[in-house]
Amino acid sequence: MQHTKFLDTPIEYLKGVGPVKGELLKKELGIFTFRDFLYHFPYRYIDKTRFHQIRDLHEQSGQVLLKGVLRRLETLGEGRKKRLVGRFRDDSGAIDLVWFSGIKWVENKLQVGSEYIVYGKVYAFQDKNTISHPEMELAAQVNQAERPVFDPVYPSTEKLNQKGLDAKNRRKLLRQLLDLMPASALAENLPAYLNQSLQMVTHQQAMAWIHFPRDQDTLEAARLRLKFEELFFLQLRLLQLKGQHQQRFKGFVFEQLGTFFHTFFNEHLPFELTDAQKNVLKEIRRDLRSGVQMNRLLQGDVGSGKTIVAVMCMLMAVDNGFQACLMAPTEILALQHYTGVQAYLEPLGLQVGFLSGTVSGKKRRELLSELAEGKIHILIGTHALIEDPVQFHQLGLAITDEQHRFGVEQRARLWGKSKPLPPHILVMTATPIPRTLAMTLYGDLDVSVINALPPGRKPIQTLHKRESHRLQIMGFIRQEIQLGRQVYVVYPLIEESEKLDLLNLETGYHALTREFPPPQYRISVVHGKMKPADKDYEMQQFVAGKTQIMVATTVIEVGVNVPNASVMIIENAERFGLSQLHQLRGRVGRGAEQSYCILMTGFKLTEEARQRIQTMVRTNDGFEIAEADLKLRGPGNMEGTQQSGILQFRIADLVQDGKLLEKARAIAQEIIARDPSLEKDENQVLKFYLDDHFKSWKGWNKIS
Ligand code: ADP
Ligand code: MG
């Protein structure tokens, strides 16, 4: 089609760009085509309606726009200190403009005595307000030209600025491109019926206004339209994908709830299921017998009892002659699941296997052959499960227990593990994730929520303490141990400061040993540098109640379950993220006893750290904490989301645009429900845009 061709034109063909600048745009900004250039939106705008008064400027003024006369221009200093200084004055006062490079050129271009419009960032140099390398335009020229009220500012780099691709030039090139563009190039991408009900500006109008808005209103209108588009088309694609999965991928039918399930439910289940757990099991049960492959996300707060749900789902698979697997993000968690599940299921006569990178040699060979023969009913392990040599006899259900750590790609690899149909998939998150993130990261899945904790839990009391409380805390630990409880003490450990972190842990361990000496007291230590067998031994000692204190790094973060532990002490708590803190806190409060989480920090905290700690002290609700985390850190910085291309929005913002996202998803849902493959005439425009646009989007290939 004609109009795609125009936008696909290599950027160097734009007049004024050429091969050198073109190369630079590719390298520095990833702009290869006219389309890329156009879809590289401004990140802010200079409001040219209002001029600042020089008298009012101060260091916090930031970017300012001034109108006045250039009074003087002189070169000062020698060699590397050489600089060009201009004296610039308006009715209210004067300020210095400074250039450190390109001095000759600037000097020749500027006219002393003329009126200029100056734009730049104020900083204080030796108590004097200064602007370095300002943008300057002759006021006379500006007044003549028909000029925008807002000037767009684009992300740039030093190199681009040096090669003449500064803000001003970018604007000129963009204007030219917009003028040059045939009307059909930016064809409308929403169907008429939608435009009518949404009452937003057209795609073309929005694309013009996002670069050159006339005023605040046009800018907002353009933003709203483009944000909506971005969210809507992603949702449409995700939901279409979901629909296609369901059409294309028939699922194994687990017709019956058989002997294993019933025996377990009636004779071995150690507690009454909560209503929330029962509801989720019903939802999953419905999926598993529907004839369509299940792709479901199970969200539930820490301690809400996701594991038992997973176990009972696996029994549904086994009852129908299938195998099931459960994949965890760390060795320790996988082992813990293995031990727990084995204890549940061995009495039923089921074979449970364990596989991780550390299982090797003969043991591994035997395991793999038993798995292939179907002698092993349930396999538990780390991501070693999805490696190629692992062949199941008949995998019917794959469960992942993740701290949003498994990507969509890994999920996809699980699909290949069974024939002729892909296994049913259940994804469990370790802590809740915010709704907007879930809709995006897991937008192609159905969602179940366990929205209540098992009965009898006392809310964990969370306290913020500092070094000066150390003695008091030791006393408290002693008291809890005397009551028969167990205590975690957790230290941060990150690669960058690994040595120091380990040292801290060791120092802490020794201090605790002095305070709580053997044989009366026993202390376990677990950290990532230990051999897995040693880790396992130490862990088991604590699980069995043979040690009272567990000193550890965050390896225990996910999932570990010791109901008798009642105190979680987190050292350097300011260095942990919110969801990590919540995860750690979730290691206690699993029994009937009152539990405590003590956050130890230094005296000086950054504002963000302070808010994290306050949030922890204020609430135990994982869903609330997840939302706070998203607000504090932004979607791209939350655990496990860093590599996710799917969160790289051009303009939409998952923190601010939650409502718009809900709306976009609801509309997309309606459309897909009526027209799953977008075949109706009225929806051709959607189909075309989806195919055309997502081709070139980097985040996309990760999920399609
Ligand atoms: P998470 O959802 O964080 O994975 P777990 O599955 O580890 O939580 O369960 C936390 C604790 O609650 C475990 O000790 C588990 O045995 C217990 N538990 C789970 N469901 C119930 C229930 N319905 N009643 C009582 N205790 C339960
Ligand atoms: Mg768990």
**What pLDDT is attached to residue 701?**
41
If you measure from the C-alpha of residue 619 to the centroid of ligand 1, how many angstroms do you get, rounded to a whole number? 20
Place 702 in a pLDDT band, splitting at 50, 70 and 90: very low
Question: Exposed, middle or buried: residue 590 (CB in 10 Å: 0-12, 13-18, 19+)?
Answer: buried
CATH of 461-619, one of 3.40.50.1980, 2.60.40.1120, 3.40.1260.10, 3.40.50.300: 3.40.50.300
479-507: pLDDT as tens digits: 999 999 999 999 988 777 888 888 889 99
The token duo for 603 is 């005296």
192-208: pLDDT as tens digits: 999 999 999 999 999 99
Mean pLDDT of the chain: 88
pLDDT at 556 over 50: yes
Place 243 in a pLDDT band, splitting at 50, 70 and 90: confident
Mean predicted confidence (pLDDT) in 395-414: 75
Pocket of ligand 1 (CB under 6 A): 271-274, 277, 300, 302-308, 454, 559, 561, 563, 586, 590
Closest ligand to C-alpha of residue 305 is 1
Q: Does domain 259-450 have CATH number 3.30.300.340?
A: no
pLDDT at 376 over 70: yes
**What pLDDT is attached to residue 528?**
76
**What pLDDT is attached to residue 364?**
96
Say whether 412 sits in a helix, a strand or coil. helix
441-463: pLDDT as tens digits: 788 888 999 999 998 888 999 99
Nearest CA to ligand 1 atom 16: 305
Of the ranges 399-408, 424-433, 603-612, which one carries the lowest mean pLDDT score? 399-408
**What pLDDT is attached to residue 698?**
45
Only one residue has tokens 């600042």, namely 52
If you measure from the C-alpha of residue 21 to the centroid of ligand 1, how many angstroms do you get, rounded to a whole number? 60
Closest ligand to C-alpha of residue 400 is 2
Long-range contacts (CB closer than 8 Å, 24 or more residues apart) made by 643-647: 643/407, 644/407, 644/441, 644/699, 644/702, 645/698, 645/699, 645/700, 645/701, 645/702, 646/234, 646/408, 646/440, 646/441, 646/699, 646/700, 646/702, 646/703, 647/437, 647/440, 647/441, 647/699
Closest ligand to C-alpha of residue 309 is 1
Share of the chain above pLDDT 70, in %: 92
> In terms of Cα–Cα distance, which of 599, 602, 607, 609 is closest to 573?
599
Domain range 49-147, CATH architecture: Beta Barrel (2.40)
Ligand 1 atom closest to the Cα of residue 274 is: 23
517-540: pLDDT as tens digits: 999 999 999 887 888 788 888 888
Place 332 in a pLDDT band, splitting at 50, 70 and 90: confident
134-157: pLDDT as tens digits: 988 888 876 655 556 788 888 878
Give me the phi and psi of 468, to 5 degrees please. -65, -15
What are the residue ranges spanned by the domains of the chain? 6-43, 49-147, 192-247, 259-450, 461-619
**What pLDDT is attached to residue 456?**
84
If you measure from the C-alpha of residue 328 to the centroid of ligand 2, how many angstroms do you get, rounded to a whole number? 9
